[in-house]
Amino acid sequence: MTVTTRFAPSPTGYLHVGNLRTALFNHLIARKAGGTFILRLDDTDPERSRPEYADAIQEDLEWLGITWDRVEKQSGRLDRYAEAADALRAAGRFYEAWETPTELDLKRKKQLNMGQPPVYDRAALKLSEDEKAALRAERGAGVWRFKLDHARIEWTDGILGDLSIDAASVSDPVLIRADGQVLYTLASVVDDTDMGITHVVRGSDHVTNTATQIQIMAALNHEAPAFAHHSLLTGPEGEALSKRLGTLSLRDLRAAGVEPMALLRHMARIGSSQPVEVAADLDELSEGFDLSHFGSAPTKFDVADLGALSARVLQDMPATAVMDDLRAAGVPDDLAEPVWAVARANISRRAEVADWWALFRDGATPLVAEEDRDFIAEAFALLPDPPYSDTTWAEWTTAVKDATGRKGKTLFMPLRKAVTGRERGPEMADVMRLLQVKPKL
């Protein structure tokens, strides 16, 4: 059996870090097993689905290197959903209901006041054919609900372990709206079975959906895939992340300079017992991926962690991987290798290489304490004009030491700050070798 997974986003907005976790887990499972990964666009809502969002979803995944074997669109499969609906009607598991949202809300409140679970009371099942016709004439088409078998629904979850849900505690789910729109619960069941999906990983907020979908699959004579539900992300203090997802879209992180591999390494490990892995690519990341290492507790996500992770990724990159960025910063091709070799250990975003090249090319605004001004003026007078070599820093500091008597930190730190305008950075011998102009006060 070929392992087949899917990622099924709705093209109604941009992908965020929560979506990425689901996409990545399913992708890694498929790639580790040499299986199939499907990108399935849940675009059955014609009013909210937009082609520009569908394009953006694919662009974001491509930026991360998450590839798919094929794309499926639910909007092109409406006939299959209609066939499944007819099969459920024929099996006596699908029924029409006409309650308004207000009526349903009143029923829920009454049930709660009586200490009963707020589930749909199946009043529509008691309607006569004449009563149904009258409601259809008065209110138009109703919604279509799946009639759950009131028994326990049990399965072994790939992350949460053995789960059991009493179907009597769940409302019969609406699978088709009154306007005819097929909802996720039915469309996903039909797609998963038709496409041979073997593993489904999604957020823990889908556990109840999974229970109802297992029964729908059984009613359609299909076997359920292996389900796993990962924990939901929270903010660094445990706060609900849902309120901040608008600022945590993948394109926002991309614009902020987060490295794709840094994000992937982080998302593949947080919430698990494994440390963040220094993986070169997704194939290497997939080799060590194992759902059994993940727990059920909410997982804290701090976007600030991505800066340090991006810096680690950049440190391992050769200049050939960032040539476009170096050229965009104005670095000449013949200096790309040495400039990158010096800058990469001192940046957390690719764009920051432009600051280092500007320093090498134009010099920096000296950072000089008032008590060091005379010392720096004397030191700069002892420095020859460029070009500089690998030995310039050692030769210059020796000359300054002999002339001023300064040594150690009182010699080297003021010179670093005066030359670079910074208190820390690369080895000064490397900086001097790349300087195109003589430093000046």
The rounded distance, in Å, linking the Cα atoms of 148 and 213 is 10
> What does 248-281 look like in DSSP terms, one character per residue?
-BHHHHHHTT--HHHHHHHHTTTTBSSPPP--SS
Cα 101 from Cα 118, distance rounded (Å): 14
| Helices H / strands E in the chain, number of each | 18, 12
In a domain, 169, yes or no: no
Q: Is residue 94 part of a domain?
A: no
- Measured CA to CA in angstroms, residue 310 lies from 116, 262, 303 at distances of 52, 5, 11
From start to end of 34-139, where are the E strands?
Answer: 36-41, 70-73, 94-97
Any idea of the CA torsion for 291, 292, 298, 300, to the nearest 10 degrees? -70
In angstroms, the CA 437 to CA 230 distance is: 55
pLDDT at 245: 58
Query: Would you report the helix, strand and coil content of the chain in percent, each value rounded to 5?
Result: 50, 15, 35
391 HSE (CA, 13 A, CB side): 2
Tell me whether residue 367 is in a domain. Answer: yes
Q: Say which residues have a Cβ less than 8 Å from residue 265's Cβ, sequence separation at least 6.
A: 276, 277, 278, 279, 285, 309, 313
In this structure, is residue 416 part of a structural domain? yes
Q: Is the dihedral of CA 21, 24, 26, 32 positive or negative?
A: negative
Q: Which residue has the tokens 């701090």?
A: 302
**What is the average per-residue pLDDT within 326-350?**
97
Task: Give me the CATH number covering residue 368.
Answer: 1.10.10
How many domains are contained in the chain? 1
Instruction: Evaluate whether residue 382 is within a structural domain.
Output: yes
**Six-digit token pair at 220?**
């359609």
CB 80 within 8 A of CB 39: no
Assign 238 a pLDDT band (cuts: 50, 70, 90).
Answer: confident
User: What is the predicted pLDDT for the residue at 286?
Assistant: 94
307/324 Cα distance (integer angstroms) = 21
Tokens representing residue 86 in the block:
């007819």
- Rounded Cα distance between 183 and 191, Å, is 12
Q: At what angle do helices 260-267 and 17-32 cross, to 10 degrees?
A: 80
65-104 residue pLDDT tens: 999 999 999 999 999 999 999 999 999 999 999 999 999 9
Q: What is the pLDDT of residues 155-186, one digit of tens each?
A: 999 999 999 999 999 999 999 999 999 999 99
Any domain includes 385: yes
| pTM of the entire predicted model | 0.91
327 phi-psi bin (left φ>0, alpha ψ -120 to 50, beta other): alpha
- Amino acid identity of residue 11, one-letter, is P
| pLDDT value of residue 243 | 58
Q: Are 2 and 196 in contact (CB under 8 A)?
A: yes
Range of the domain at 415: 363-441
Q: Six-digit token pair at 362?
A: 């134009």
Burial zone of 244 (CB within 10 Å; 0-12 exposed, 13-18 middle, 19+ buried): middle
Q: Please write the tens of the pLDDT for every residue from 36-45.
A: 999 999 999 9
Mean pLDDT of the chain: 95
Maximum separation of any 2 CA atoms in the chain, in Å: 108
Residue carrying the six token digits 């070169």: 280
- Look at residue 381 and tell me if it is in a domain: yes
Phi, psi of 36 (to 5 degrees): -120, 135
Confirm whether 221 is domain-assigned.
Answer: no
Query: What pLDDT, on a 0 to 100 scale, did the predictor assign at position 244?
Result: 60
The count of other CB atoms within 10 Å of the CB of residue 222 is 16
Q: From CA 250, how far away is CA 253, in angstroms rounded?
A: 5
Give CA–CA dist 220/84, Å, rounded.
7
Write down the pLDDT at residue 247: 65
